[in-house]
Amino acid sequence: GRANIGVVGLATMGGNLARNLARHGSAVALFNRSPQRTRDLMAAHGDEGTFIPTESITDFARALARPRTAIIMVKAGEPTDEVIRQLTEVFEPGDIIVDGGNARFTDTIRREAAAREHGLHFVGAGISGGEEGALEGPSIMPGGSVESYETLGPILASIAARVDGEPCVTHVGTDGAGHFVKMVHNGIEYADMQLIGESYDLLRRGAGMTPAEIADVFAAWNRTELDSYLIEITAEVLRQVDAETGLPLVDVIADRAGMKGTGTWTVQTALDLATPVTGIAEAVFARGLSTQTAPREAAQARFTEAQGYPGGTLAVTDRAAFVEAVRQALLAAKLVAYAQGFDEIRAGAARFGWDIDLAAIARIWRGGCIIRAGFLNLIAAAYDGDPADAPASLVLAPHFARLLDAAQGAWRQVVAHATLAGIPVPAFASSLAYFDGLRSPRLPAALVQGQRDLFGAHTYERTDRPGAYHTLWSGDRSEIRVG
Ligand code: 6PG
């Protein structure tokens, strides 16, 4: 028999995906650039299902039933292009190439168009859930043609995580839509992690709690509306003790956060779309600031408590009340970050011509992926039904608006106290500013328009009648209509 699916690239993610496929009844063709990895996988896991190991791309193609379907799990960028070149030579019209890596969606759009020239289907599929998700059930965000999804959909559904019996996979939209949505998923992941980090800092430095005490707080929060994978693992990280020093591990880990690019892409893309994703942007910039070692050291030495600067502690008299205020602030700010992420998906869909069902995206994020959470059920409910009736922003969905009614007071208190104490809360603060920006009946954007018209004759609109206007600032200051 032949394989119904193949995997190219058998590092941990690819190997685990292949095993997941085989365990769910697929016959899986295997190919890796260095054949030893294929042999190792067969030796360790060959008995878990039906595998057809191959050691050349030609044999790999031969092992696959038509339409051939292959998932590429190699490094993004040039290595991916190289495998696509090889597969394009041995595949035939109608065959399907799936890129399961974290590719940039613009690369996916380019590769899809190129593959189409050869009659091939190219599907950029976001796969979230890390190594464990790849093996046990990830959340999968495939783009590409509707036709390719007829073949691919059932295979992906067999390996995806399940929530309420539904597989966490949907056809997101054509060409790069899947990788676009995966990119925004990662941006939201960054924002969520930053907000959790700010909450931790407030409890740790602000309220003077120990990592073990804070682990208990997060474990308790995980039984509230905040219930999520990221909150759960936060408690686990905070409970860990370093074997060597006996200190909480979090105190031994260097406070310089790494990143591999997807958060940055989310913000770059949002800038192009003029969609304010302030929570995600602050999260990316906070990671950047953490690695600015020289200015950090110099500023720590220069702007000290002895110089009159606040030292990062809060006078907390009622610890339980403070913990609850931070929880409310986290909930509100998280909602704003998700609202901004979904706005970016909506804007991307409009720009690139994708028909993306936002409720379906929320549903496939309920399981398998890094941001999986009960919260996503509420987002799915907010976007369910006729898109014409969808809330203009998630914050306006009735359930979420009531959540903000209850949380906004605590949110303001937390941001104000943190600011006075000198505890940086960029994501809490910028999401609150964004929310107040939405609420403000008049924005100083009017003044900005006046300034632009004065120095550059950029014109402005009026509140009281249509048209574009310019004031003759260097003349008699009368107003003329210019459009
Ligand atoms: C996932 C993750 C994954 C990525 C992390 C880490 O959905 O499974 O998003 O794709 O490894 O986002 O990214 P950074 O290294 O940029 O933090």
186 assigned ligand-binding residue: yes
Q: How far is C-alpha 54 from the geometric centre of its chain's CA atoms?
A: 35
Of 12, 164, 167, 188, which is closest to residue 100 (Cα–Cα)?
Answer: 12
What does the pLDDT average to over 323-331?
Answer: 98
Q: Catalytic one among 89, 92, 132, 182?
A: 182
Report how far ligand 1's centroid is from the alpha carbon of 184 (Å).
11
Whether residue 313 contacts residue 417, with contact meaning beta carbons closer than 8 Å, is answered with: no
Report how far ligand 1's centroid is from the alpha carbon of 129 (Å).
8
pLDDT of residue 11: 97
Q: Which atom of ligand 1 is nearest to the CA of 262?
A: 16
Pocket test for ligand 1, best of 12, 260, 265, 364 (most atoms within 8 A of CB): 260
For ligand 1, whether the C-beta of 465 sits within 6 Å is no
Neighbours of 4 (CB within 10 A): 20
Report how far ligand 1's centroid is from the alpha carbon of 260 (Å).
8
pLDDT of residue 1: 82
For ligand 1, whether the C-beta of 266 sits within 6 Å is no
| pLDDT(457) > 90 | yes
Which tokens sit at 428?
């809490």
Q: How confident is the model at residue 16 (pLDDT cuts 50, 70, 90)?
A: very high
130 assigned ligand-binding residue: yes
For ligand 1, whether the C-beta of 262 sits within 6 Å is yes
> How far is the CA of 200 from the CAs of 212, 247, 266, in angstroms?
11, 17, 25
Whether residue 286 contacts residue 292, with contact meaning beta carbons closer than 8 Å, is answered with: no
CA distance 23 to 8: 18
For ligand 1, whether the C-beta of 369 sits within 6 Å is yes
Sign of CA dihedral 312, 429, 180, 222: positive
205 assigned ligand-binding residue: no
Q: Is 189 a catalytic residue?
A: yes
CA distance 423 to 387: 41
Given phi > 0 = left and psi -120 to 50 = alpha, else beta, which region is 368?
left
The fraction of the chain above a pLDDT of 90, given in percent, is 100
For ligand 1, whether the C-beta of 129 sits within 6 Å is yes
Q: Which atom of ligand 1 is nearest to the CA of 139?
A: 7
What does the pLDDT average to over 360-386?
Answer: 97
Instruction: Count H helices and E strands in the chain, helices first.
Output: 20, 11
Q: Is 334 a catalytic residue?
A: no
Q: Catalytic one among 48, 112, 189, 324?
A: 189
ipTM reported for the complex, 2 dp:
0.96
For ligand 1, whether the C-beta of 189 sits within 6 Å is yes
CA distance 476 to 338: 49
Q: How buried is residue 389: exposed, middle or buried, by Cβ count under 10 Å (0-12/13-18/19+)?
A: exposed
CA distance 64 to 1: 9
Output the residue whose Cα is nearest ligand 1's atom 7. Answer: 128
How does pLDDT run across 86-140, given as a tens digit for each residue?
999 999 999 999 999 999 999 999 999 999 999 999 999 999 999 999 999 999 9
377 assigned ligand-binding residue: no
What does the pLDDT average to over 40-64?
Answer: 98
Largest distance between two CA atoms of the chain: 87
187 assigned ligand-binding residue: no
Output the residue whose Cα is nearest ligand 1's atom 11. Answer: 130
For ligand 1, whether the C-beta of 192 sits within 6 Å is no
Whether residue 173 contacts residue 117, with contact meaning beta carbons closer than 8 Å, is answered with: no
CA distance 63 to 196: 47
190 assigned ligand-binding residue: yes
Report how far ligand 1's centroid is from the alpha carbon of 72 (Å).
18
Neighbours of 439 (CB within 10 A): 10
Whether residue 234 contacts residue 218, with contact meaning beta carbons closer than 8 Å, is answered with: yes
DSSP 394: G
For ligand 1, whether the C-beta of 76 sits within 6 Å is no
Report how far ligand 1's centroid is from the alpha carbon of 68 (Å).
29
338 assigned ligand-binding residue: no
CA distance 160 to 138: 5
Query: In terms of pTM, does the model score above 0.90?
Result: yes
Pocket test for ligand 1, best of 136, 168, 262 (most atoms within 8 A of CB): 262
| pLDDT(308) > 90 | yes
What does the pLDDT average to over 7-29?
Answer: 98
| pLDDT(385) > 90 | yes
Pairing between strand 469-471 and 479-481? antiparallel
For ligand 1, whether the C-beta of 38 sits within 6 Å is no
| pLDDT(358) > 90 | yes
- Classify each residue of 134-166 as buried b or exposed e, where b means 16 or more C-beta atoms within 10 Å of its C-beta: bbebbbbbbbbbeebbebbbebbbbbbbebeeb
pLDDT of residue 73: 98
pLDDT of residue 363: 98
Average pLDDT along the chain: 98
What does the pLDDT average to over 237-241?
Answer: 98
Q: How many Cα atoms sit within 13 Å of 226 on the Cβ side?
A: 27
pLDDT of residue 148: 97
Output the residue whose Cα is nearest ligand 1's atom 14. Answer: 259
pLDDT of residue 390: 96
pLDDT of residue 110: 98
